Structure formats: structure tokens, C-alpha cells
Amino acid sequence: MSFLKIERLTKRYDHITAVDGISLEIERGEFISLLGPSGCGKTTTLQMIAGFTDVTSGRIVLDGRDLAEVPPAKRGLGLVFQSYALFPHMTVAANVGFGLEMRKVNRADRDRRVAAALQLVGLSSMADRYPRRMSGGQQQRVALARALVIEPNLLLLDEPLSNLDAKLRDEMQGELRDIQERTGLTTILVTHDQSEAMALSDRIVVLNKGAIEQVGPPEAAYKTPSSHFVASFLGRTNTLEGNREGPSVSVKDQRWTVGEDGNSGPILVAVRPERISFGETGLKGIVRKRVFQGSQWFFEVESEAGPIVVLAPNDSRRLPGTGDTVCLAWQAEDMRVLPRDRAV
């Protein structure tokens, strides 16, 4: 049996459906990200799991226990939110130990568990410091330690890194994943940041308009999106209009054999920018923009099939300049063919 099982979970507010009958199974020790734009239902789903939002219909079963009648405080969950919500008048140790104190844990056991949690997040030397004297990243570690110290059976993270600057966010992502792997704690992260979801997750759950669009490992979701929405939301992609005739796919005068039969007719072809190369043959276009980005070059090309973005590595190859006429090429295995009825 799955550790967490969500069955046809639905939340309605009057005539608005925020979560529309989603079902999901999560194994013990997995790191899952609920990914999607604002209003897709990801935070509402997390709040229903936590017990802060009533369920309209459906079931949430955690480790064999139906949570329908279990109040939030009895669910045994660790929670970390976007706002750190630390008590400014309490030291780090007091903040971390607050939940244990509310649970009537004896002083000796409380001190031991607080010390272990602070060591886990690398803050042992700051136990007596107050939050106002700490950086954003340090405060976020305190919030994480406070969630971990109660020894939860499930950790829920609601955009916990969104208040940090880019460099610190990258550092905290690595630390968060390392802590999760060391503890083996089943974790659900809510985020709208695609790179964060791909860096942290065992599986990504892509949500759109209250429904699940795709579930899968980050690499699979990125390489083989199930819809135009997933292709465009999970990283940058080029979506081109084309046609299909059995195993043959064409965009303008370029043609590929995809190796499997399909219904003939109009299609969309999704190609990631890094899979497109400049060559002697291919789809013709003119470079309209060229931007240096350190490890790579960013190109905007006006092609016969419409605007195309290309990402080329910064290596010894000669690359075209602005205004140059180019040919764009990619392999059949580098594109994803999407039927027109899944384009929106």
C-alpha cells in the first residue's frame, strides 16, 4: 500500500472548482513536487492534506489512516511555509523546541531533540541567537528544524525558498535535498519554480486548472511532456505547427520519421532550445537576437515556421551573429509530437 494515497480529491468554493478530482499515490521516502502556475490548485491540495482546508469530496489516506476526521494537530505533519513565522522574542533553540513544549515533551528529551535538529540543519552554533540577527537562509533553516524536530511522518513545504535571493535559493535547494535524503522523510513541495522542482524531486506532479496534467520523474516530464501546457511550463520550449502522415512528421519542408504510426493531420511539434543546432541544412531563418549568458548563447531566430529560441553552448564553435541567415536542425528523438486537441 502507498504511504500517502489521494483519491478523487476535490475542493469547490461556491461555483469555483479549485481542485478537480485528483488522484495520486506517494511512496514512503519520496520527494514529490506539486508544480504549476498560480491558481492551479497546488496550495489548496497541500492545505487539504494538512487539514487547514475542508475537503469537498474524496479521500486522503496516510499510512493506512483516513485523515477525514483527524484534526491538523493530530496528523503528525511537519510544515514549512513561505513566511518563516519565527517568534522574534525567542532564541533559535526556543523556536525549534516550541512544538515539543506544546506536546508536553520533557525538558531533557526536548533539549536532546532540539540539539539534533539544529545539527541536522547546520545551526548548532546559533542556538542562543535571536531571529532578527540571522540571514534569510539561516531563518529558513530554523523553520525547517522546527518542522523536523517533532519527527513528522510527512513533511509539507509551501514555497519555502521563494523569499531567498537566487544564489542562496540554489544553496538551500541542495541542503534541503540532502537533509531529506538523510532523514528518509516523505516530502511534498509546492512550487511554481520549474528548476526548483526538477532539482529536488523524485517525481513532479504538474497541475493545471485544478487537474493533474502529468506525473513523472523530472527528466521524463521534461523530455516527454504529455501536453502543450507541460511542454511550455516545464522549462523553455519551441512549439511549431506541423503535419503528420503515419510515421512521418513535417514542419514546412523539413521531414522526420518518428518510428511509429499515428493519425494523419495537423499537429504541434515541441522542441527544447538546447536540442536545436545550427547546420548546413534545415529550417531556414534569420537571427534576430544573440545574447551571451556565460556558459551558453541565447538566440532568437525568425524562421519559416515562426520564432524559434536556440541555446548553444559557449565553446570553440563559430556561432552566427545578429542578422545572419541560418539553418536549424534537430533529430526526431529530440522533438515531442503533440496532437492539436492537446495544444491548449
Q: Are 212 and 270 in the same domain?
A: no
Phi, then psi, of 26 in degrees rounded to 5 = -125, 130
Amino acid found at 87: F
**Total number of domains in the chain:** 2
The residues that bridge with 290 in the sheet, in sequence order, are 299
Q: Domain check: are 198 and 68 in the same one? A: yes
Q: Are residues 187 and 154 in the same domain?
A: yes
pLDDT at 57 over 90: yes
Give 32's DSSP letter.
E
- Single out the residue in 167, 202, 228 at which a domain terminates: 228
Residue with cell 504549476: 36
Residue identified by cell 533559535 is 92
**For position 144, which CATH number holds?**
3.40.50.300
Residues whose CB falls within 8 Å of the CB of residue 334, separated by 6 or more in sequence, listed in order: 271, 272, 275, 276
Q: What is the per-residue pLDDT for 315?
A: 85
Handedness of CA 175, 179, 184, 188 (dihedral sign): negative
Task: Give the mean model confidence (pLDDT) for residues 154-159.
Answer: 94
Q: pTM score > 0.75 for this model?
A: yes
Per-residue confidence (pLDDT) for residue 343, from 0 to 100? 42
Q: pLDDT, tens digit, for every residue of 209-235?
A: 999 999 999 999 998 888 889 988 988
Q: Of 188, 212, 228, which closes a domain?
A: 228
**96 and 218 fall within a common domain:** yes
* In a shared domain, residues 222 and 254: no
Task: Please say whether the beta carbons of 21 and 190 come within 8 A.
Answer: no
Domain assignment of residue 167, given as a range? 4-228
Regarding whether 186 and 244 lie in a shared domain, the answer is no
pLDDT tens track for 172-210: 888 899 999 999 999 999 999 999 999 999 999 999 999
Task: From 154, 160, 170, select the one nearest 140 (Cα to Cα).
Answer: 160
Same domain for 252 and 298 = yes
- Is 288 found in the same domain as 163? no
Q: Based on the fold, state whether residues 171 and 298 are members of the same structural domain.
A: no
247/193 same-domain check: no
Q: What is the pLDDT of residue 170?
A: 85
On average, the pLDDT of the chain sits at 92
The CA-based angle 342-272-252, given to 5 degrees, is 70
C-alpha cell, 317: 564553435
**Of 166, 193, 228, which residue is a domain's last?**
228
Asked whether residue 111 falls in the same domain as residue 190, the answer is yes
The SS3 call for residue 16 is strand
Task: Mark whether 292 and 215 lie in a shared domain.
Answer: no
